[in-house]
Structure 1
């Protein structure tokens, strides 16, 4: 029996895969929520922030839920707060929200008020994989937020071990086309990718695109009754 070739790209989810879920829900989300109002008050004239607010208003206009707070004019940034909180309460994967969160977290990381807490086995795995292949990140968090996480991790700056970063601008993690796009961007075939995630709903479309998959079972993650045939792992030390 022919031994399968090692992956050319190790593609990693963040929350529940390389970082504990508590990092997001107990640290990052509350920090953003607490700082949104002042951040927008100070930075609403910044072109990047203004672009995010325009995108946020466009997303709001597409909402069909009658409980959605209205935010239709991006110049009225004070009206954005309730909508941003509404999105976070529902853990919505809004591209505009993620971008604004990343801008707020940047200040927190740079002031050492935040730190990118990663699992113990992550640094050595990144070192091992990056010597023979490429490593990339695919998260609903913005690329800017991903860079902050790895630059200010509890193991130091790990950005030198990572070749690519992808967020929802690539496409939803529940679409097989997103994984095909990542393969194209990284110069490989989907069949040469190993994708790691704690979410079966993400692993299924990755496998549909041709990727190899691993279901990551970390302490603190939700239990998974049906893995849909994805191989389960508890640590990167087995690879």
Structure 2
């Protein structure tokens, strides 16, 4: 079993934006692509079961079961422009991004150190998971289509907003229960102070990831600028 600061480490859970992946890729490539395609894509999707499910989720979210299709689409677009982490929007964005990946409109960015260490940790048997506000489908697409190839074989599972908000300690308790691990065995890597605080409140070990452009973190928070700076040791036995 690997050790972090001499304590057993059961799994590493990773954020995406600003942690494994340059936030600029999401903001400057994925979000604009999804926003530009949203209205036409949703219009085509509406007759399908997936489309009807998204419409139902939008209506439930706004508390109006009679909201028209056009108003649902307008609401989705408003959420997208405001970067709201709303589950039906995230599901729809994932479908649109799938289209973009399939048509080779782009490949996912991943930091060199993140790609190298994700592969190395996996090789050494460390269970790796993702917890991101993007849908699980979108997470899988991102890691399946990176600039260094398909990294999905390195991950044991994924969590998104269906588990709960990333700034809610209960979400991290749920993940620990789902993984069958004590919070103390889990390490969360993120660039978001609110997420790190929530995970720490749930009993997890946390480490802030400071990428170029990330604001400084509080001095009491363990911070790294490179995945190789994590004090993880492996038994060679």
Scaled by the length of structure 1, the TM-score of the pair is: 0.89
1:23-82 deviation per Cα after TM superposition (whole angstroms, max 9, x unaligned): 111011100111011111211112122111211121122xxxxxxxxx7546x3322232
8 Å CA contact 1:134–1:163 kept in 2: the answer is yes
Q: Is 1:212 the equivalent of 2:205?
A: yes
Residue of structure 2 equivalent to 1:127? 119
Matches within 5 A, 1:189-204: 189-204=182-197
1:109-146 deviation per Cα after TM superposition (whole angstroms, max 9, x unaligned): 11111211111111221122222320000000000000
Q: Which runs of 5+ in 2 are unaligned?
A: 231-237
Structure 1's consecutive aligned runs of 4 or more residues displaced over 6 angstroms after TM superposition are none
Residue of structure 2 equivalent to 1:66? none
8 Å CA contact 1:200–1:228 kept in 2: the answer is no
Q: 2 CA distance for matches of 1:215 and 1:178? A: 18
Q: 2 CA distance for matches of 1:213 and 1:14? A: 15
Q: Is 1:87 the equivalent of 2:89?
A: no
Aligned equivalent of 1:227, options 218, 225, 229: 218
- Over aligned residues, Cα RMSD in angstroms? 1.7
Matches within 5 A, 1:176-187: 176-187=169-180
When residues 91 and 228 of structure 1 are mapped into structure 2, their CA distance, relative to the original with a 3 A threshold, is farther
8 Å CA contact 1:196–1:213 kept in 2: the answer is yes
Q: 2 CA distance for matches of 1:228 and 1:191? A: 21
When residues 160 and 72 of structure 1 are mapped into structure 2, their CA distance, relative to the original with a 3 A threshold, is same
Q: 2 CA distance for matches of 1:159 and 1:153? A: 10
Q: Which runs of 5+ in 1 are unaligned?
A: 62-70
Which of 36-45 and 134-143 deviates more?
A: 36-45
Q: Is 1:112 the equivalent of 2:104?
A: yes
Q: 1 CA distance for matches of 2:9 and 2:166? A: 20
Q: 2 CA distance for matches of 1:123 and 1:212? A: 22
Q: Is 1:166 the equivalent of 2:159?
A: yes
Q: 2 CA distance for matches of 1:3 and 1:160? A: 27
Question: Match of 1:121, SS?
Answer: helix
How many residue pairs get aligned? The number is 226
8 Å CA contact 1:12–1:137 kept in 2: the answer is yes
Aligned equivalent of 2:15, options 13, 16, 26: 13
Task: Report the Cα offset of residue 92 of structure 1.
Answer: 1.2
8 Å CA contact 2:13–2:189 kept in 1: the answer is yes
Residue of structure 1 equivalent to 2:235? none
